[in-house]
Structure formats: structure tokens, C-alpha cells
Amino acid sequence: MHNTGVIMRRELGSYFATPLAYVFILIFLVLANSFTFYLGGFFERGQADLAPFFNFHPWLYLFLIPALAMRLWAEERKSGSIELLLTQPVTLWEAVLGKFLAAWIFAALALALTFPIWITVNYLGSPDNGAILAGYVGSLLLAGGFLAIGSCMSALTRNQVIAFILGVVACFAFLLAGFPLVLDVFRSWAPQALVDAIASLSFLTHFESISKGVIDVRDFLYFAMLIGFFLLATVIALDVRKAE
């Protein structure tokens, strides 16, 4: 655990050593707010809640989170620093977890900086702050799921652009797993049980139920297992391909 913390702190520091952190946070905040006001009709709806804010998070994350995750391992492999890191007395798990947590904390920071919208909605009316908190928790879990997928894609290649594209495609597939776009691919040949299983993997359904304020243990479990699965896949991918 000590090493995970050390690696996490180094990684987090390196975000802020380059313009990456500032550019990411700025774009995230600008887009999150524009979507809320222009596409979501925050004022026009006349309701004191943050649904128009959270509804766009999956689509915002679809491009921004793979951009954050693409460098996690691809950059280490490209520069060769992966050899330096993995010949220190650390396990692969500690390294994968440390880097993932750094990216997740960073995403949490960007999300926390949207607090003015929470203040705004409280100023304008009296919203259900419990539901807003649930929305933030759901959004954070969603970001974690996307990051775990992005981490795995980043471990598969030394090219960050490829890692980004693979990340977007994989996240998109998970996002829409419950929708005809994805399900129709399986429906024609797969048994109904498999189609149902795939449909239940959809990010969107789990995210929406949490962000409506319905806290269900199964939704938490879903994100925890998804993150665990993709971090395990990252470890395996690195173990096989780290030296190539």
C-alpha cells in the first residue's frame, strides 16, 4: 500500500508539472457548463435540480476520460521509463493501482470544481441536495469505470493516439450496451440470456439510476467489479507486453 501511495503521488504531481492538468480542467468545466445551460435548458426547465448537468456527463467523459487515460501506460512504454518503474521493488498491482488512483483523484478534482453550479441551483431554489450528492457519486463512479477501461487500452499499445481511439470505442460500447445499437449486433445470433447480460452491463442504466438519487448496492457493485476487472486486465496486458 505504501508503494501505491508513492506512485500515486508522483503521477498526480506529473499532471500538474505539464499544462495537461490545467487544459483538461478548463475544458471540462467549460463543456460541462455549456452543455447544462445550452443543451440541457437549465433555466428553461424551471426546476431546481441538476439533472441537465449530470445527464451530459457520460458524453463528456466519453472523450475527455480516454484523453486522460491514454498516457497512463503508453507514455511509460514509449519513453522506456516503464523499465525503471518496474525494476523498483514494487509489484505490478501496486503500480497499476497507483496510477489509476492518481487519474481518478484528478478526475474527482475536476468534478469538484463544478461546485458553483451546485451553489447556483441552491441560490435559485431549494433542490434535493441528497439527489445532487448521489449525482456526484454516480458521476465519479462513471469516471472511474471509464478510466479503468482507458488504463487497460493504454497498456495495450505504446502509441497514445491508438490508446485514445481504443479507449473511446471501448467506453462507447459499454456506455450503450443496453441500447439497440449494441444489442442488435448480438440479438440475431446470441441466446436471450446473453443479450440480457450484455444489456445489464450498460454504463448508462447504472449511472442514471444512481444519478436519480436511487442508491442501489448493485450499482455500486457493478462499478467496483468493472473497475477491478479492467485493472486486472491492465496488469495482465502489462505482464505480457511490457518489454515489447
Minimum CB–partner distance for residue 2 and another protein (Å): 8
CA distance 107 to 113: 10
Cβ nearer to another protein, comparing 46 with 80: 80
Cβ nearer to another protein, comparing 212 with 242: 242
Residue whose C-alpha is closest to residue 244's, from 76, 67, 72, 71: 76
CA distance 223 to 203: 9
CA distance 58 to 135: 12
Cβ nearer to another protein, comparing 34 with 88: 88
C-alpha torsion 73→75→76→80, nearest 10: 140
Minimum CB–partner distance for residue 88 and another protein (Å): 4
Binding site for another protein (CB under 8 A): 2-3, 6-7, 10, 13-14, 17-18, 79-81, 83-84, 86-91, 242-243
Cβ nearer to another protein, comparing 87 with 188: 87
Cβ nearer to another protein, comparing 83 with 216: 83
Minimum CB–partner distance for residue 173 and another protein (Å): 31
Amino acid making up residue 128: D
Minimum CB–partner distance for residue 26 and another protein (Å): 19
Alpha helix (H) residue ranges in the chain = 2-17, 20-34, 51-54, 57-69, 71-79, 81-86, 92-112, 115-124, 129-155, 160-175, 180-187, 192-199, 203-211, 217-241
Minimum CB–partner distance for residue 239 and another protein (Å): 9
